[in-house]
Amino acid sequence: MLPIFKCHTPKSKEEALSILTEEEKIKVLAGGTDLLVELQSGKKVENLLDITQVADLKWDPGSKAQIISPLNTHAEISGSAFIRENFPALFKACSLVGSPQIRNMGTIGGNIANASPAADSIPPLLIYDAELTLESKGGSRQMALASILEGPYRTGILNHELISSIYLKPLSGFREGYKRLTIRDSLALSRLSVAYAIRDDREMWHEIRLAIGSLTPIPFRAEGFERAIGGQRKDRGLLEGALTDLVNTVREMAGERPTHRFKIPILKELIREIFGVGDASR
């Protein structure tokens, strides 16, 4: 049974921003796949701002080129030919989210604002240098997604702000993808996820983008790994050294965790597979 609360259902962005300014204790509902579970579990909310019907916060993927809507659902992203062609790692990640019901409800903006360490969409968004426009009654500001994520279920989005758009940087000449580990195929959270974009040829790794989720308090771009491998001749020893440094970074960020016993070996093998030096190539 849900607790009693006041639900606001604005039809315009201006109305939504006004309500956010006027009400002090308020939660935003964009998709609700996490928030509704919390409410059913007894979490108390005085005011709920349902923005799902705010027309000027929603548009079809591709209709504004590289700018996607915070209200685009995972189903819309994974059903978009534009996203599949231009942002294939995001396309793949959203196609793997939960069940069809969850993909039809959950939104990209909700995934970001909830800031779950296991959010499937965040690692791909990181490799595309996602930049958010945050709006309030007082104006707007742009912030990189990487700067917004502050901790598990914690962001730098202020209480009176809404994510109004998400800009993605398309990549040219890269092979891109997304791999993850789950315990079960359906209705399962990612236990480990890797989004990647690699520009290479037979001899060299020219440029690398790698983001990892479900392993540290927040998903992160593996920038040290990217620098160690990018611009270098392909060499297995170089890759193994970069993997060792990456594991050290993970332990610095997360500390020692019991799950690392199985997650870290799987992370290494996933990355070896991505770079074409996995078990099948030995």
Q: Is residue 8, in this structure, part of any structural domain at all? A: yes
In this structure, what CATH number is given to the domain that contains residue 14? Answer: 3.30.43.10
Residue range(s) defining the domain that contains residue 239: 175-277
Domain end among 36, 54, 72 = 54
Quick check: 245 and 228 in contact, CB under 8 A? yes
Q: Is residue 258, in this structure, part of any structural domain at all? A: yes
- pLDDT beneath 70, residues of the chain: 1-4, 33-42, 183-189, 278-282
- Kindly give the pairing relationship between strand 149-151 and strand 139-144: unpaired
Which candidate, 90, 58, 73, places its Cα nearest to that of 164? Answer: 58
pLDDT of residue 45: 76
pLDDT of residue 276: 86
Q: Is residue 43, in this structure, part of any structural domain at all? A: yes
Q: Is residue 163, in this structure, part of any structural domain at all? A: no
Q: Is residue 103, in this structure, part of any structural domain at all? A: no
Q: Is residue 84, in this structure, part of any structural domain at all? A: no
pLDDT of residue 188: 57
Q: Is residue 33, in this structure, part of any structural domain at all? A: yes
Quick check: 163 and 202 in contact, CB under 8 A? no
pLDDT digits 0-9 by tens, 228-248: 999 999 999 999 999 999 999
pLDDT of residue 278: 64
Q: What does the DSSP 8-state code read for residue 184? A: S
Domain end among 11, 29, 54 = 54
In this structure, what CATH number is given to the domain that contains residue 249? Answer: 3.30.390.50
pLDDT of residue 280: 41
Cα three-residue angle 171-191-104, rounded to 5 degrees: 65
pLDDT of residue 185: 52
pLDDT of residue 109: 95
Q: Is residue 70, in this structure, part of any structural domain at all? A: no
Cite the beta strand spans of the chain per DSSP E. 6-8, 26-29, 47-50, 67-68, 131-136, 139-144, 149-151, 154-155, 162-167, 175-181, 192-200, 204-213, 220-221, 232-233
pLDDT of residue 117: 92
Four-point Cα dihedral 271, 76, 83, 51, nearest 10: -100
Q: How many domains would you assign to the chain?
A: 2
Domain end among 54, 83, 99 = 54
pLDDT of residue 183: 67
